[in-house]
Amino acid sequence: MGLSREFQKNVSSWKIDWVCLNPIFPGSGDVGGADADLIVNSTLIEIKCKKRKLSINDLFQVIGYKLLDYNDSYGIEMVALYLGRWGKLEVFDFKKLILGLGSPYKIRDFRKNFRQAIAKDVPTNDFGF
């Protein structure tokens, strides 16, 4: 119950119009299955309840979810990691996050390249970061 209260504190100021629990993306089958925790409005939120700090792989996970939404059916603009043990929500603007990681791609091209890379089973470190 404490985790729920802390999460609510983090989003209490949001005007929530739409929520999707456990969204499955059009490209999920291309990677053997992938489903996120939830989407609130245009923010994809992945819940992490681990002792260790976040890693770059946690960011790659939410980036991957956005890219697996091939036709942008969920309209994800922000990605977030909710750190359940600390009651902290880290929110990232997707476009700024990708630029900050050094990707030269526009989202349409990035998604296309990602889709081609996973079809060939290319490791992510060979993909564009």
Domain that holds residue 105: 2-121
pLDDT at 125: 52
Closest CA to 98 of 115, 70, 78: 78
For residue 18, count other CB atoms closer than 10 A to its CB. 10
39 within domain boundaries: yes
Distance CA 39, CA 18 (A): 8
126 within domain boundaries: no
pLDDT tens by residue, 48-98:
988 777 888 898 899 999 999 999 999 999 999 988 888 888 999 998 888
What is the average pLDDT value for the chain, to the nearest integer?
A: 84
Look at the chain and report how many structural domains it folds into: 1
The residues facing 44 across adjacent strands are: 39, 79
Query: What is the reported pTM?
Result: 0.80
In degrees rounded to 5, what are phi and psi of residue 101? -85, 0
For residue 7, count other CB atoms closer than 10 A to its CB. 17
